Amino acid sequence: MKQIVHLEDFRRSFKSLRPNNFSHEGLNALYENLIQYEDDAGEELNLDVIAICCDYSEFKSLKDFQDNYNDVYQSIEDIEDVTDVIQIPDSEAFIIKNF
């Protein structure tokens, strides 16, 4: 039995289990990305908050990313060469699929 998860359900699940992993805007962008993946792949995903938190990380800026990874990545495009990047609209922030 599958349950349809709407954006508010998605946000509520993260806020109850892992409230500090993603910003409000980050959750919106991540939700949209996962829904798009389901549509493109023709595959339904299970909502597993812990697994998603292990698979994805949000960064406030390129500098924030460089502080956590390495400054060999000089641009978002450099990061996109090695992993998926989800841009958060109207900000410098972005989410990556951890590598």
pLDDT confidence of residue 70: 80
Q: Note the pLDDT of residue 2.
A: 74
- 90: alpha, beta or left, given left = phi > 0 and alpha = psi -120 to 50? left
Residue 86's identity, in one-letter code, is I
Q: Which amino acid is at 45?
A: L
- Please, where are the H alpha helices in 1-99? 7-17, 24-41, 49-55, 62-68, 76-80
Residues forming beta bridges with residue 85, ordered by sequence position: 96
pTM of the entire predicted model: 0.92
Q: Encode pLDDT of 41-94 as tens digits.
A: 999 999 999 999 999 999 999 999 999 988 899 999 999 999 999 999 999 999
pLDDT tens, 1-39? 678 899 999 999 999 999 999 999 999 999 999 999 999
